[in-house]
Amino acid sequence: MADSEVVTNVAASRADIAGLPLAPLNPLPYRQQIAAIRSFHTGFEVLRDAGGPVTRLRFGPKGLFPDFVVVSSPQAAHDLLGAPMYCTDRAITHDELQRLLGESLFTLRNKPWLPRRRILQPVFTKKSVNAFGGHMAQAADMVAAGWTDGQVVDLDAASRRVTLRALGRSVLGIDLDERADSIAGPMRTAMNYVTGRLVSPVHAPRWLPTPARRRARAAARQVHDLAAEILRSCRDDPSHDAPLVRSMMAATDPDTGRTLSDAEMCNDLVVFMFAGHDTTATTLTYALWALGHHPDIQEKVRAEARAIGDREISPTDLPALGYTVQVLHESLRLCPPAPGNSRMVTQDIEVGGYLVKAGTLASVGMYAMQRDPALWERPLEFDPDRFGPEQSEGRDRWQFIPFSAGARTCIGDHFAMLEATLALATMVRHTEFHSLDKDFPVALPFTMVADGPIPARVRSLK
């Protein structure tokens, strides 16, 4: 096709988009809209029910506040997250995080993100993560071995111990059993600060050293110091076993041959440490809690795990754990650790049949979409069979996107699913769980987490 034809087609496409109506303004009162945004995991359901699967919010004059569009349909999610990269970019959420924790694969704008992604992509292929993801079953076994018959345990605390132990031993090359607070506490402080900035209509100027900002910066220094220590250990001792770090050190851009600097690796390690334990721990917690209320489903997972034998479950066993994966998919549907994903629209685009103009902040509400009664039968019921081959056939792939989608989908999705599958199968194989609370409360310091202890009584089956 000649260049002139391309220009003509693009111009025609833009003319077609320009003729579309704007997304309808949400009819909720201003205060209710603000409340929904502040709790955007569950709040996006409120906005969807009031304004439809594509709805627009306006919080003030255009020159001061961008329009905010919330989408919760598969087509609209595809249009936004699957748009060409010149049409959208990272949102202000990521800018706030970048100012605090540095430039990383998670926070970079599209142009500098692309070469970083090229360098890191081979590190997170299925083959690569199988090589450094095998310690998860051992970590789960060690945690479960410490329980006594009939003990009441906090599933959230247990899941975090499992993921931190596996993360340290299989990926970072350090023992995190005694240093859990070196990651969890500071990261939670940093994320609480970022979220507070995002949901507050009035911000203190960035130069003002408020108490919250001082605490957040101190927390950021603490996790960066830990990342630097991990990297330094690998530099000083070539035999130091830290598979992920070694892979990052060896990674090169296939187009240019460039490697990552130490500062870039530290910034990415900070994000990987957070994402590698926090989101996986929440998924594992929810899955165990749900199984504790559904003994029949729990027994199916147990039977699948026991069919492997008494040896340690390994990444090579993943094909034999299909039902366990369905349980985790259903857990991710009902409790996605990342309940929303935002983009700044940089060029006018069509989203769900509406015009979304450049300068608009747009967000996909995965939590709202994955619980939408218009898309799912019995949407609030825990039913792993909905992810079986027959029920999944013909389902729109954009209807279930817990790891986001499009060009900037989560690079660690294979690793997260591998970790969670090995841990769940290992813990359920020889332990029976009885959840004690009917509800699973959630909070949103940045990603979605359990809002307090999740108690369950355990019984050994060995």
102 contacts: CB under 8 Å, gap ≥ 6: 224, 263, 266, 267, 270
Reading the block at residue 421, the tokens are: 């599958």
Alpha helices, DSSP H, located in 133-252: 136-145, 155-167, 184-199, 211-236, 243-250
Between 195-209, 264-278, 396-410, the lowest mean confidence (pLDDT) is in 195-209
* Sheet order of strands, 54-57 included: 54-57, 68-71, 361-365, 340-345, 88-89
Q: How many residues does the chain have?
A: 462
Domain 3-460: assigned CATH number: 1.10.630.10
Find out whether 302 and 429 touch, Cβ atoms under 8 Å.
yes
Mean pLDDT for 267-296 is 91
At residue 203, the pLDDT reads: 67
At residue 378, the pLDDT reads: 97
Instruction: Evaluate if residue 448 carries a pLDDT over 80.
Output: yes
399 contacts: CB under 8 Å, gap ≥ 6: 74, 369, 370, 375
Closest C-alpha among 182, 148, 151 to residue 164: 182
Closest C-alpha among 388, 397, 460, 456 to residue 429: 460
Cα-based distances in Å from 205 to 34, 60, 92, 233, 412: 21, 20, 15, 38, 34
At residue 381, the pLDDT reads: 98
At residue 63, the pLDDT reads: 67
Mean pLDDT for 282-294 is 97
Closest C-alpha among 275, 292, 230, 239 to residue 424: 292
Find out whether 41 and 335 touch, Cβ atoms under 8 Å.
no
Instruction: Evaluate if residue 180 carries a pLDDT over 90.
Output: no
* Chain segment 81-130, per-residue pLDDT in tens: 999 999 999 987 778 888 888 899 988 999 999 999 999 998 888 888 88
Torsion, CA 416, CA 417, CA 423, CA 428, rounded to 10 = 150
Strands 54-57 and 340-345: unpaired
Tell me the chain's radius of gyration from C-alpha atoms: 23
So where are the chain's domains? 3-460
| 3-state helix vs strand vs coil in the chain, percent to 5 | 55, 10, 35
Chain centroid to Cα 370, Å, comes to 14
At residue 200, the pLDDT reads: 66
Burial of residue 238, with CB atoms counted within 10 A of its CB: 0-12 exposed, 13-18 middle, 19 or more buried: exposed
* Chain segment 34-54, per-residue pLDDT in tens: 899 888 788 999 999 999 999
Percent of the chain residues past pLDDT 90, beyond the cut? 59
pTM of the model: 0.91
Mean pLDDT for 176-195 is 73
Q: pLDDT tier at 7 (50, 70, 90 boundaries)?
A: very low
At residue 9, the pLDDT reads: 42
Mean pLDDT for 418-431 is 95
Rounded CA-CA distance 260/281 in Å is 28
At residue 336, the pLDDT reads: 95
Instruction: Evaluate if residue 13 carries a pLDDT over 60.
Output: no
Rounded CA-CA distance 47/336 in Å is 18
Rounded CA-CA distance 218/222 in Å is 6
Any idea which residue has 């006018």 for tokens? 348
Reading the block at residue 132, the tokens are: 């450094």
354 beta partners: 351
